[in-house]
Chain A
Amino acid sequence: MSKVRVLVGTRKGAFILESDGKRHKWDVSGPHFAGWELYHLKGSPADPNRLYASQSSGWFGQMIQRSNDGGKTWEAMDNKFVYDGVPGTHQWYDGKPHPWEFKRVWHLEPSLTDPDKVYAGVEDAALFHSTDGGKSWQELAGLREHGTGPRWQPGAGGMCLHTILLDPSNHSRIYIAISAAGAFRSDDAGVTWKAINQGLRSEYIPDPTAEVGHCVHRIAQHKSRPNTLFMQKHWDVLRSDNAGDLWKEVNGNLPDDAGKRGFGFVIDVHAHEPETIYVVPIKSDSQHFPHDGKLRVYRSKTGGNEWEPMTKGLPQQDCYVNVLRDAMAIDSLDSCGVYFGTTGGQVYASADAGDNWAPIVRDLPAVLSVEVQTLA
């Protein structure tokens, strides 16, 4: 019988939850790396027992941990993330040039085919990769140096590269997203890059349709339709059907928020239905909690525009948590499981594609990331 392993990164450690394919009863292990911030953990699709974890601390900086046994034991890997050459400057909050400074790894994306190859999205925004299982890291500097870098500016959470998508049908194609620069695509395995932000409209920047400067929160993709992308932006949910060359808003009937719609952080795609997508609408860009104190996952079976709130099993009063950008994941069982974590320390799961929900663990530290592995 299949098993499911959920990797949870929190403000104060990592937790690993395992269940059989029924997904009713969960075993929780952790905290791993107690007291450290675990921005992200992810398993290798090519070797599910190979896990990578980003462990960081305001005191002691960045660590990278690797497990070869599904998280039972861990080994510290190289933590040296040095920008290639003289990194130059980006915009600071006040609009002045500010030197690029490494702060932390936000996201780790293992190769689809090679357990020893893994990408790291970092703050200040840049893309690194390792081809030796995390023993050394090199920057793919063509992203930071492609031309618009000096105009990138941090969002409220820092200038982070938080999304890395590896195209399953074209191993030379990589998508990334940066807050608050936007989305970018490489068609040559990360050597050269182009901004792919046409169609995005952001009223909080001087030119709302600028080439860069958009606060993209998350991008998702279904493996069967790699040219279709779904984006959760600071405001607006969008989709592209041409690999990011042009985006269109699909906010539809998402909750109204003082005349705007579509604020949130997470977005993900059903495992078997490439037009079924999930978001968690969050109120405004400063309150950062669910509308009306009701935690609702909105599901669209039409690739956007037509949304239905999923509420069964989720708190529908007095709920004021947030769901951060890396804190939603989908397993590949039938029917697929949907998982998300909250800043209140709950991880909710649905074993029926979003119809019904229940917490599979609660009272953890604030959840920063959730990933799931479907194990044979």
Chain B
Amino acid sequence: MPAHLRTIAGVSGDVQLDVPAPVTQRSILDALEARYPALQGTIRDHVTQERRAFVRFFACQEDLSHESPDAPLPDAVASGAEPFLIVGAIAGG
């Protein structure tokens, strides 16, 4: 997660989550927000649940930001071999 979100969540480094199958963007974010409620609304909109415009989702060297939030993520992410990256977009420079 970006540094600002780690600060809000009170964590350092990566976060490990147990997510039931099928592992999707939505199920990961649901699990993340359940553990760290202060993150609600910071990654996706409270009402629409859509990804905030300047937040991106990467995994396995792919930009998955525009994939369906309910699409299964790569097996390597589901198995924990690869991280699911929540990235603050480079903007405003």
Contact = CB atoms under 8 A, between A and B. Distances in A.
A258 B55 CA distance: 46
Contact of A57 (B4, B38, B45, B47): B4
Contacts of B91: 58-59
A60 B55 contact: yes
A331 B55 CA distance: 41
Contact of A60 (B4, B47, B92): B4
B41 A80 contact: yes
A82 B91 CA distance: 27
Given A58-B54, A59-B4, A79 B89 contact: no
Contacts of A76: 8, 38
Q: Please classify how large the interface on chain B is, using the bins under 10, 10 to 19, 20 to 34, 35 or more.
A: 10 to 19
Nearest to B92: A58
Interface string A36-79: 10000000000000000000011111110000000000001001
* Residue of A35, A57, A60, A81 with most chain B CB atoms under a 10 A cut-off: A60
Contacts of B52: 59-61
A190 to B, nearest CB: 22
Given A76-B8, A80-B46, A82-B46, A59 B2 contact: yes
Contacts of A80: 40-41, 46
Contacts of B41: 61-62, 79-80
Contacts of A58: 54, 91-92
A364 to B, nearest CB: 19
A57 B42 CA distance: 9
B39 to A, nearest CB: 9
B32 to A, nearest CB: 13
Contacts of B42: 60-61, 63, 79
A61 B46 CA distance: 10
A36 B4 contact: yes
Nearest to A82: B47
Contacts of B19: none
A63 B52 CA distance: 14
A153 to B, nearest CB: 23
B11 to A, nearest CB: 13
A99 to B, nearest CB: 12
B4 A35 contact: yes
A36 to B, nearest CB: 7
Nearest to B42: A60
B15 to A, nearest CB: 16
B5 A60 contact: yes
B47 A59 contact: no
B43 interface: yes
Interface string B3-47: 011001000000000000000000000000000001011110111
Given A36-B4, A80-B40, A59 B46 contact: no
B8 A59 contact: no
B40 A63 contact: no
A79 B40 contact: yes
A64 to B, nearest CB: 10
A58 to B, nearest CB: 6
Nearest to B44: A61
Contacts of A60: 2, 4-5, 8, 42-43, 52, 55, 88
Given A59-B88, A63-B42, A80-B46, 4 more contacts: A35-B4, A79-B41, A79-B46, A80-B40
Q: Which 6 A-B pairs have the closest CB atoms?
A: A76-B38, A60-B42, A59-B54, A80-B46, A79-B41, A59-B88
24 contacts: A58-B54, A59-B2, A59-B54, A59-B55, A59-B89, A60-B2, A60-B5, A60-B8, A60-B42, A60-B52, A60-B88, A61-B41, A61-B45, A63-B8, A63-B38, A63-B42, A76-B8, A79-B40, A79-B42, A79-B46, A80-B40, A80-B41, A81-B46, A82-B47
